[in-house]
């Protein structure tokens, strides 16, 4: 949610900042802006729309100088327009800052500042911070003015700030992600690693209530009491080509095709001699209940996880959407385990759920992709997805790797708890990358099916058991990138309401697996057919009955039931991708969405 970059050094400032912004565009793309210290003044430029609008402005070339900040916005307060775009400045245009987060008490602060004579021009919460710093600024006390302003603020922020007279660039964080890139004779600020990866692989993850004071040759990190902190400098393992499209039309397609490799990486060194190797302290014998908490696609992975963990460990699992969990006064405490699932490791509600569970005495485990992210640092233990960077706003390879990690966890806990692991599951797990490659090789056939449904207005996704969450995920993928209404349901629920939607125009996507629910699913298909619905079936069964009722069939390879979900989701990702592509949508940046939801 909003991307921030900052730079201090001798390169062309606007080029470094724009490069970082382009790589952070998945975080928000309704407007963007840049501010640079030039001589003893601040120059700034803002544009509505995607970053390209900023790039093509002729004035961008004037944004040279030795330090600057920039921002790509996902609007929270104030409509997307040039005035509300960041950077925001004080009355005298001497201070410029960019912000990610929400200043919760901005109304009160703004009223007071207005009474004191400050002139506001935007409808944002952010602008109060610029005026607060202005209020506290006395000659050469930039750093302490920033600290005093931060002390007045309630809410979450990642900030990058420049002053026309200061030779230092300041960054500060509370509750929103911010990293410092450590360079040679230059330093960087970014919301996320892709912003700085081209220039350095050395990063400092700022903690809450820390500020960093950057000059080209130095980085000083302090807490709000002024105590100097010696930060850990981490080495990033990602390479630059991992955050580029590599010949694919979109990141989403690249990431769908990366799944065999991503899954191999997630499994790598974690299965040895048919045994699961996870370096975890959690002991199933001391565990009462397991709570899985996540949002969006990660929540769907959690629903698949419930099915798998309960089956393999016989422990009861509750799955919650994080924004519901944290406000429902959950009964969780000592002896319980909360598992937080998150690609970005920054989702605000998931992060807050972890804090709540910890506060009530539960142990916490993160299933996270982004190394060093807030969630990874907040939990007691973490299993990393090892999926590599996911840039496309629609989550694909992170989903499959989240399920893989949950499966590894379930096998590990099952074994530790005295349950015997079925060797066939391990065998099928190891064969999974190959099976997914087979599906990917048929993507052009799925594209042909997509052509037939490109003008649909609404759609229904139905599955049972472990494939019910896959129906939810298929529907989410389609709606978020094609803007076609889509609903996922357990197939058995169909007659309790959704069947009323069925007519000759409604595509109904069934997941029909060769398991104990097959006959029931086939009956549901007959019922849709009897009402002239169009049926697309994802199936691993070559049954005449399925052929008879289906308008289109996407055949998938057979595997163990608990692994089938990982196979069935892939054609649904491809279907959604092609429908969106045929509708001319840039599904890497779907409207109103942002990759990482760092505000509530
Ligand atoms: O980074 P997280 O996994 O915590 O993100 C959770 C959701 O915001 C995310 O999965 C979202 O639903 C995606 N748009 C799904 O494609």
Pocket test for ligand 1, best of 319, 321, 339, 347 (most atoms within 8 A of CB): 347
What is the 341 CA–ligand 1 centroid distance (Å)? 10
Ligand 1 closest atom vs CA 297: 10
What is the 344 CA–ligand 1 centroid distance (Å)? 8
- Active-site residue, selected from the candidate residues 2, 295, 401, 405: 2
Residue written as tokens 């990917």?
440
Angstrom distance (rounded) from CA 557 to CA 569: 12
pLDDT band of residue 58 (cuts 50, 70, 90) is very high
pTM score, whole prediction:
0.90
The pLDDT value given to residue 596: 80
The pLDDT value given to residue 600: 76
The pLDDT value given to residue 108: 97
DSSP assignment, residue 72? E
What is the 105 CA–ligand 1 centroid distance (Å)? 27
Residue of minimum CA distance from atom 12 in ligand 1: 296
Residue of minimum CA distance from atom 8 in ligand 1: 296
Ligand 1 closest atom vs CA 596: 1
Residue of minimum CA distance from atom 11 in ligand 1: 296
What does the pLDDT look like over 192-240, one tens digit per residue? 999 999 999 999 999 999 999 999 999 999 999 999 999 999 999 988 8
pLDDT band of residue 416 (cuts 50, 70, 90) is confident
- Active-site residue, selected from the candidate residues 43, 135, 397, 595: 595
Is residue 420 classed exposed, middle or buried when 0-12, 13-18 and 19+ CB atoms within 10 A define those classes? Answer: exposed
Residue burial 363-376, b: 16+ Cβ < 10 Å; e: rest: bbbbbbbbbbbbbb
* Domain architecture of the chain: domains with CATH: 3-237 (3.60.20.10), 250-440 (3.40.50.10490), 442-600 (3.40.50.10490)
The pLDDT value given to residue 284: 84
Decide: 571 and 400 in contact? Cβ < 8 Å: no
Known catalytic residue at 444: no
What is the 401 CA–ligand 1 centroid distance (Å)? 13
What does the pLDDT look like over 78-112, one tens digit per residue? 898 999 999 999 999 999 999 999 999 999 999 99
| Coil/strand/helix, residue 267 | helix
Known catalytic residue at 2: yes
Which residues contact ligand 1 via a Cβ below 6 A?
A: 295-298, 342-344, 347, 350, 393-395, 480, 593, 596-597
**CA separation, residue 79 to residues 2, 31, 267, 268, 594 (Å):** 14, 10, 44, 46, 16
Ligand 1 closest atom vs CA 370: 1
What is the 574 CA–ligand 1 centroid distance (Å)? 18
Decide: 192 and 206 in contact? Cβ < 8 Å: no
């Amino acid at each position: 949610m909003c991307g921030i970059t900052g730079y201090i050094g001798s390169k062309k400032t606007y080029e470094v900042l724009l490069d970082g912004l382009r790589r952070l565009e998945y975080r928000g793309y309704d407007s963007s802006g840049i501010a640079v210290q030039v001589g003893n003044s601040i120059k700034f430029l803002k544009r509505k729309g995607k970053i390209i609008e900023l790039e093509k402005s002729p004035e961008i070339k004037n944004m040279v100088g030795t330090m600057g900040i920039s921002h790509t916005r996902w609007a929270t307060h104030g409509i997307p327009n040039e005035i509300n775009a960041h950077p925001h400045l004080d009355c005298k245009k001497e201070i410029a800052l960019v912000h990610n987060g929400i200043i919760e008490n901005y109304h009160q602060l703004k009223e007071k500042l207005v009474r004191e004579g400050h002139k506001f021009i935007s409808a944002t919460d952010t602008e109060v911070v610029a005026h607060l710093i202005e209020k506290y600024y006395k000659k050469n006390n930039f750093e302490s003015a920033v600290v005093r302003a931060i002390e007045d603020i309630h809410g979450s922020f990642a900030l990058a700030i420049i002053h026309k007279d200061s030779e230092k660039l300041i960054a500060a964080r509370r509750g929103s992600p911010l990293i410092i890139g450590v360079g040679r004779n230059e330093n960087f600020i970014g919301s996320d690693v892709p912003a700085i990866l081209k220039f350095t692989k050395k990063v400092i993850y700022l903690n809450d209530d820390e500020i960093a004071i950057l000059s080209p040759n130095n980085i000083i990190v302090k807490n709000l009491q002024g105590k100097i902190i010696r930060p850990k400098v981490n080495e990033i393992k990602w390479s630059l080509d991992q955050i580029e499209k590599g010949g694919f039309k979109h990141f989403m397609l690249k990431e769908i095709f990366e799944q065999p490799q991503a899954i191999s990486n997630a499994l790598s060194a974690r299965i040895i001699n048919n045994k699961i190797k996870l370096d975890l302290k959690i002991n199933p014998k001391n565990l009462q209940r397991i709570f899985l908490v996540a949002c969006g696609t990660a929540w769907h992975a959690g629903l698949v996880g419930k099915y798998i963990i309960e089956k393999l460990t016989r422990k009861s699992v509750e799955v919650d959407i994080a924004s519901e969990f944290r406000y429902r006064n959950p009964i969780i405490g000592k002896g319980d385990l909360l598992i937080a699932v998150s690609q970005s490791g920054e989702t605000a509600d998931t992060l807050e759920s972890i804090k709540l569970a910890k506060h009530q005495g539960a142990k916490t485990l993160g299933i996270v992709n982004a190394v060093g992210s807030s969630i990874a640092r907040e939990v007691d233990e973490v299993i990393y997805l090892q999926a590599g960077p996911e840039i496309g706003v629609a989550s694909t390879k992170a989903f499959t790797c989240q399920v893989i990690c949950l499966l590894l966890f379930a096998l590990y806990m099952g074994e530790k708890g005295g349950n015997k692991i079925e060797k066939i599951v391990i065998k099928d797990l190891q064969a999974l990358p190959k099976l997914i490659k087979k599906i990917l090789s048929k993507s052009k056939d799925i594209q042909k099916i997509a052509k037939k449904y490109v003008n649909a207005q609404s759609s229904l996704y139905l599955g049972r058991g472990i494939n019910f969450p896959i129906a939810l995920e298929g529907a989410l993928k389609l709606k978020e990138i094609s803007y076609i209404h889509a609903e996922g349901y357990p197939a058995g629920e169909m007659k309790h309401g959704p069947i009323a939607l069925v007519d000759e125009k409604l595509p109904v996507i069934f997941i029909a697996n060769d398991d104990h629910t097959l006959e029931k699913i086939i009956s549901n298909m007959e019922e849709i057919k009897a009402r002239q619905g169009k049926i697309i079936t994802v199936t691993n069964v070559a049954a005449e009955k399925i052929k008879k009722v289906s308008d289109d069939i996407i055949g998938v390879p057979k595997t163990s039931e608990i692994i089938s979900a990982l196979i069935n989701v892939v054609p649904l990702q491809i279907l959604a991708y092609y429908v969106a592509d045929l509708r001319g949508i840039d599904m890497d940046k779907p409207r109103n969405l942002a990759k990482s939801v760092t505000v509530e």
